[in-house]
Structure 1
């Protein structure tokens, strides 16, 4: 049994981006493409849904219940889009800060591991 390596049969383990450049690239993609495209898609739905609500709204004292139902569904849709955009922004911020946190942790761990111990004087040979 070997404890210094992972088993070879892990199968389809995805390659996780771990370099600083990969994380910054992913954060840039979120910022420049995914967040704006998600917001734009949400606004497109606003225009289309507004037209549906208006078309089925009350005219001359008569209207469809569909208008109110579509309006309520659209309100929920808007909240979900805003929640998704907020989550994407949080993910972007986490990617950007991760490198600094990990580097700081590595430096701190190295400093703590090499502190002088009182036992160091016992292990050195006596002259």
Structure 2
């Protein structure tokens, strides 16, 4: 089934949910905290305003990444169901050909 089973798709979606999303969020928050702390320490210097801008850009990039991870997780979970539905539908169509079909009973 396109190189992976429904169980593998489910496992990948679960890994995104239980590992990638929380670990990415944790790492992003830590980096933001450190950068914000550095900006506060350098308050009054041009470097502080630069770090604040970096923090804003960082937040945007993290939000995009978290959204992408969520989309991939949802897609993996949805794909498994769609493939199974397609297989069932195809089987129903083949069975509708009648008992004289050579494919009957497969």
Greater share of residues in helix? 2
Q: CA RMSD in A?
A: 2.0
Q: What is the CA distance between 1:82 and its match in structure 2?
A: 1.1
Residues 53-108 of structure 1, C-alpha deviation per residue, up to 9 Å, x if partnerless?
Answer: 111112xxxxx111111101110111101110111011111111111101111122
Please give the alpha-carbon distance, in whole angstroms, between the structure 2 residues aligned to 1:17 and 1:55. Answer: 52
Aligned residue runs from structure 1 range 14-33, under 5 A: 17-33=3-19
TM-score by length of 1: 0.69
Residue-pair matches, total:
98
Please give the alpha-carbon distance, in whole angstroms, between the structure 2 residues aligned to 1:116 and 1:32. Answer: 45
CA contact (8 A) 1:17 1:23 kept: no
Structure 1's unaligned 5+ residue stretches are 1-15, 59-63, 121-127
- When Rg is computed on C-alpha atoms for both structures, the one with the higher figure is 1
Structure 1 stretches of 4+ moved >6 Å: none
Please give the alpha-carbon distance, in whole angstroms, between the structure 2 residues aligned to 1:17 and 1:89. Answer: 22
Aligned twin of 1:74: 55
Check if 1:38 corresponds to 2:19. Answer: no
TM-score by length of 2: 0.82
CA contact (8 A) 2:32 2:58 kept: no
